[in-house]
Amino acid sequence: MSMDKRDIYDGLSKLELDLESSLQQLTAMKAALQEIVEKNTTLELENQKLREYLQELKEENAAEEVKQGMSKSRMNLEKIYEEGFHICRESYGARRENDEQCVFCLEVLYRESQN
């Protein structure tokens, strides 16, 4: 069974259109991939800068804690305690009558940190 010239020509025309369509899809996919790669590179650089900045903040905070002897959170608790409120689990937030000392609160403030 042989194809006539007209069928061969029509078949080649269809194949050409299919190839052109595939080429357009491939070009669009390549452009999209390039955009993704560029965004990924930008995000990786930004992520690295943020990690370095976070490390600097951690180092500064650690140095400040050593310098002050107390973390910021404990200093905040100490301020609340000095304002006359309990900071211990047993009575957290309750007013200390006559500003009496509370051994539980003092333990929270001055115990060694558990790292």
The residue behind tokens 């409120």 is: 85
| Helix boundaries (H) for 1-115 | 5-68, 72-82, 103-110
The response to whether 88 counts as a known ligand-binding position is yes
The response to whether 107 counts as a known ligand-binding position is no
The response to whether 102 counts as a known ligand-binding position is yes
Query: Do 81 and 101 form a contact (C-beta atoms < 8 A)?
Result: no
The response to whether 15 counts as a known ligand-binding position is no
Binding residue ranges: 86, 88, 102, 105
Binding residue ranges for Zn(2+): 86, 88, 102, 105
